[in-house]
Structure 1
């Protein structure tokens, strides 16, 4: 049984994560650097589901590992656009 953990955005991720997951984490964090939002208090949460890491950021971004494909999928939360042109 593996225990999950939490760590701050930008901090070193836990050891034992597949390399492709670490690359996905770095990609998400790199994208967030360009945003004007204050992310200093955001944290990652790692849980293990059937032996595979599932990582969620406080904003709802989720990274899932697929061991068969040795791939990581990033799912970002939907962005609601306040659009005055909703009649189109």
Structure 2
């Protein structure tokens, strides 16, 4: 997590590491239809998920505002994507 916090937004989004795997969340492919936050449509441009290691610790879900990633959910069991 410490190394990840030193990366820019673009470095996180372009990283193709097998352990990071940062990509947008497609709500239509998930068990949810959003984060359930008040004013979510005004706060969240693109929801993202990433992993901290190769499938060992699940996923982190959230969104960027400027250069800050706001964590909404920790998903250790990969429950957002049922498949």
TM range (shorter): 0.3 to 0.5
- Which one has a bigger Cα radius of gyration? 1
